[in-house]
Amino acid sequence: MPELPEVERARQDIERRALHRRIAAVDDRDTYVSRPHAPGEMQRALRGHELVAAHRRGKTLWMETDDGGPVLGLHLGMAGAIAIDQDPSPRGWDRFTLEFDDGGRLALRDRRRLGRAVLEPRIDRLGPDAEDITRAAFRQRVGFGRTAIKARLMDQAVIAGIGNLLADEILWQARIDPRRPAGGLSEDELDRLRRTMRATLRRTIRRGGAHTGAFMAAREPHGICPRCGAEVQRGTVGGRTTYWCPVEQV
């Protein structure tokens, strides 16, 4: 499931390998992935342009094009990935494709068809990026109310980029119970949580994704805490399956 680390790796790949290549054709026929655009609309807008910059906030990617052209937004959904200069998916999982005039291609590859490709994406509804949020903004946006801290971290309007796996990993690293009310955390705990979040993001980006976290192997029935050996607990927080150590996370 792509979270911030996977999306940042995709952004870096686009930045390294897909910029300054002229778009010769666009396959935007999947009307669900390319909604609300009609088939051919994105091709008419993008053909002849080059991608010149790749950006990310949370789990949303967007690319600027040259000469004041349109902005292309991509979202990986639940199982998507960016495939650059790879052969077309034999199973038809390339839901949106840019064909470059040098013969290469960039595809949004998504077996579950939950990703999105859209022109002029809106990012104003997203909170600050989890990798960059300041201490003051984190305290203000996170540390209030009765909402469980895990649910608050996963609210993309509060902080952009944290999903279910990362939230469990971060809270385990910070030794904070995911069920605690966000407003009950002290400023010291909020500061520790932010530092842990940023360190976890840097580490998982470097290693290749949220699945590389130290707590991930314990996220199963009767899983064992990697630090203390206690059996982890499982429950539902914010509508999502949640795992935590009952001994260390308080």
Cα separation, 166 vs 206, in Å, equals 14
Q: What are 216's two structure tokens? A: 């991930």
Active site residue 2: yes
Single out the catalytic residue among 113, 192, 203, 240: 240
Active site residue 150: no
Single out the catalytic residue among 9, 11, 57, 59: 59
Q: Is 48 left (phi over 0), alpha (psi -120 to 50) or beta?
A: left
Active site residue 221: no
Active site residue 131: no
Residue 242 backbone dihedrals phi, psi, to 5 degrees: -135, 140
Beta bridge partners of 129: 160
Single out the catalytic residue among 2, 5, 121, 178: 2
* DSSP codes joined into one string, 30-61: -TTTTTTSPTTHHHHHHTT-BEEEEEEETTEE
Catalytic residues: 2-3, 59, 240
